[in-house]
Amino acid sequence: MFFVRSYCLYGFCVRFCFVFLCIYVSPRLPSSGNRRVYVVCFNLYSFVIYCFLFGCCVICYSQSFYFLCEGGGFVDLPCIKLYVRVPIA
């Protein structure tokens, strides 16, 4: 829960910086320092999003192994019946 809250706060701060840099500190030339700061913030935000999505995929993938039974068989879940096989390694 702390990770989600800190991620939302970080996203809010980055969006605020985007608006501030685009509207109030608009660069006159593409090579100015303000444009570089804008690009750095955008890349950091994209990196955080990719890490968050990768973490969600890893968690969802690992959650699927909680219901595996040794040798396979039927697993009863609320309103769901699954037949699960353990992969042979």
pLDDT at 49: 74
Indicate if the alpha-carbon torsion angle 46, 52, 54, 57 is positive or negative.
Answer: negative
pLDDT at 53: 75
pLDDT at 83: 52
SS3 70: coil
pTM for this entry:
0.34
17-21, 42-46, 56-60, 79-83: range with lowest mean pLDDT: 79-83
Residue at token pair 């509207």: 23
* Dist. CA 73–CA 83, nearest whole Å: 5
* Dist. CA 41–CA 19, nearest whole Å: 12
Mean pLDDT of 44-67: 71
Smallest Cα–Cα separation from 51: which of 2, 1, 12, 3? Answer: 3
Distance of CA 23 to the CA centre of its chain: 28
pLDDT at 13: 73
